[in-house]
Structure 1
C-alpha cells in the first residue's frame, strides 16, 4: 500500500510517494502558491492525479495551528489563505481518498518518536529551528497537543521577562529561528538585511571568523536558556533539534558548551538537558505526516 505524503512549507511543497514503513519511492517539490487557496488546491489536485491509481490516502504536514481530529486549519502560519479553513473537506471534494492533516513541527516529533531520535523515550521534546521555531512535545509516550491544538507553538514564547508595557515584544520565533541567527550576523558584520543565509553563517564560523563565532555563541546561549526552560517544564529524556541548521555539527557543539556553562553558573540545579540532532532532518515532516495518517486510519502502525 502506498501513500501520497505532502509537506507544505512557506516556499515549497515537498511531496513523496511512500509505503507503510516510510520508505520513499518517489519524491519532488513544487513552489508553494503564495496568494490563494484556489492555486494551492490546484497544485494538490495535480499531485493527486499523478498518483491516484497508486495511493490509499493523502497525508499532509501543514504550518499553523491544526485541529488534526476535525481536519481544520485554525491558522495557516505564513499561508494566511489557510486560516479558518476545513482543508480536509475542501481537498476531498477533488481527491476522494482518506486525507489527514497535522501541524508540521508535530509531524517532526511523530517521526522522531516513531523511527528516530526519540525512540524509547517516554518524555521528549523536538525543537525545529526553521525560519521561526516549531515544537513537538511527547509526554508519557503520547504527542501532547493541548486543549486548543497549540501545544508546542514555541515561536510564540515571550523571551523578555523584564518587558515594560508599551515596549516592543520579543518572541522566541523572531530571535531563535535560523533567520534570527542570520540577523545577528548581519548586525555584527554591518551587512544589509537579508543578505546572509545559514549556509554562509556556518562557512564563516567554521573558518574561525571571530565576529560570526561571537554571534553564534550569543545565539546558542539564548537557545540553551530556552532548553533549560523546557527541561524545567517537561523534564524530558531528550530534546531533539531539527531544521536546516541542525545539520551543522558546530551548532550542537556551541549548544552543549552553553548548556554546561548554565549548569555551572545557575544557582539552582536541574538535570542538564540531553540535546541531540533529529534523525530525519528535512524528511521529518513527511515521515511524521505518514505516521499520523496511519494512526488516524484503520491501517495499523508497525
Structure 2
C-alpha cells in the first residue's frame, strides 16, 4: 500500500509517499495557499496528479477536525477552512480514500505507535509551529474529546484578566513566530527579516540578546507544561515541530521546569519532557497511522 501523505502547515504543505511499514519517499513541499479553500483543494489536487496510483490520501492539518465526517469545524491558522467538509470537496478532485486529522493529533499517533511515546499509557504531545498543536494519548489511544478539541492548547489564555484575546492565547504567545518577534524587538529590526533559523543560529553562537529571547520564550512554555502535568498527569510530554531539532530548545525548557519545581511549595509529580522521535515529520507519519487505523476499522465493519 502506498499513501500520499500531506501535512498542511501555516507556511508550507509538505507531502510524501509512505507505505504501511513507514518507508518514506518522494518528499516535497509547496507554499500553503493563504487565499481560499478552493486554492487549497487545487494545490493538493496538483500534488495528487503526480501520484495517481496511490491507495489513498492521509492529511494532517491545523484546526478542530471531525475526522469521522471529514469536517473541519475550525481551521486554526487557516481560517478559510472554518466550517468546511474538506474530505467531501477534495474527493471530487482526488477520487481515492481520504482521511483527515488535526496535525498535533497526527503527531501524537506517530509517537504513540512507533515513537517516543510507544508503550506509554498516558502521554501528551506539543508541536511548536505557527501556533502550538497539542494532543493527548489516554490508555494508549488518541483522546479527542466531545468536540474533537482535546489537547488544543493553543487557545489557553495566558492573561491575568482571563480574556482570550488574539494577543494572549498561548498559541500566539509561544508559537515559533512569537520567538521571532521577541528577537526582532530585541534587535530593533523588521520581524519579516527574521526566521527561526536566524534566531537559533545566533543562540547557538552565544549571542546574549538571542539567548535572552529564548529564556523568556521557554519560561512561558515551562509554565504551561507545569500546568499540563498537574491537570493530566501524563507519563511523558513529547515536544515536536521544526524548532524541536534544536537541542538548546529542550535544554532551556527543562532548566525552566527545574527552577519551577524547585520553588513549588508542594511535592507534585514532575513532567518528563522528551523530543518527538520524528521531529518535524511526525505529522506525516501520524497522518499515515490515522489513515491505516481508519481503513482497518472500515474493513471490520464490512
**Matched residue, 1:20:** 20
Q: 2:271 aligns with which of 270, 273, 278?
A: 273
- The farther-off stretch of 224-233 and 265-274 is 265-274
Work out whether residues 6 and 58 of structure 1, in 8 Å CA contact, stay in contact via their aligned partners in 2: yes
Distance in 2 between residues matched to 1:140 and 1:246, nearest whole Å: 26
Distance in 2 between residues matched to 1:165 and 1:13, nearest whole Å: 32
**Matched residue, 2:196:** 198
Q: Counterpart of 1:74 in 2: which secondary structure?
A: strand
**Matched residue, 1:130:** 129
Unmatched tracts of structure 1, length 5 or more: none
**Matched residue, 2:243:** 245
Distance in 2 between residues matched to 1:242 and 1:119, nearest whole Å: 15
For residues 164-215 of structure 1, give each alpha carbon's deviation from its aligned partner in whole angstroms, at most 9, with x where no partner exists: 7799861111111111112222222333333322122222222222222222
**Matched residue, 2:289:** 291
| TM-score computed with the length of structure 1 as normaliser | 0.93
Alignment of structure 1 residues 99-118 onto 2, 5 Å: 99-118=98-117
- CA apart distance, 1:38: 2.3
Q: Counterpart of 2:280 in 1: which secondary structure?
A: helix
Alignment of structure 1 residues 162-241 onto 2, 5 Å: 162-163=160-161, 170-241=168-239
- The farther-off stretch of 78-87 and 243-252 is 78-87
Work out whether residues 3 and 18 of structure 2, in 8 Å CA contact, stay in contact via their aligned partners in 1: yes
Distance in 2 between residues matched to 1:61 and 1:193, nearest whole Å: 28
Distance in 1 between residues matched to 2:63 and 2:193, nearest whole Å: 27
Distance in 1 between residues matched to 2:65 and 2:126, nearest whole Å: 18
**Matched residue, 1:67:** 66
Work out whether residues 111 and 287 of structure 1, in 8 Å CA contact, stay in contact via their aligned partners in 2: yes
Work out whether residues 109 and 125 of structure 1, in 8 Å CA contact, stay in contact via their aligned partners in 2: yes
Give the RMSD, CA atoms, in angstroms: 2.0
- CA apart distance, 1:220: 1.2
Aligned CA distance change for structure 1 residues 232 and 207 (closer, same or farther; 3 Å):
same
- CA apart distance, 1:45: 2.2
Work out whether residues 183 and 194 of structure 1, in 8 Å CA contact, stay in contact via their aligned partners in 2: no
Distance in 1 between residues matched to 2:164 and 2:64, nearest whole Å: 28
Q: Counterpart of 1:3 in 2: which secondary structure?
A: strand
- CA apart distance, 1:70: 0.8
Unmatched tracts of structure 2, length 5 or more: none
- CA apart distance, 1:298: 2.5
Q: Counterpart of 2:190 in 1: which secondary structure?
A: coil
Moved over 3 A (4+): 164-169
Aligned CA distance change for structure 1 residues 199 and 165 (closer, same or farther; 3 Å):
closer
- CA apart distance, 1:46: 2.2
For residues 255-284 of structure 1, give each alpha carbon's deviation from its aligned partner in whole angstroms, at most 9, with x where no partner exists: 111111111111122122111111111211
**Matched residue, 1:3:** 3
- CA apart distance, 1:50: 2.1
- The farther-off stretch of 26-35 and 252-261 is 26-35
Work out whether residues 19 and 25 of structure 1, in 8 Å CA contact, stay in contact via their aligned partners in 2: no
Work out whether residues 167 and 173 of structure 2, in 8 Å CA contact, stay in contact via their aligned partners in 1: no
- The farther-off stretch of 89-98 and 236-245 is 89-98
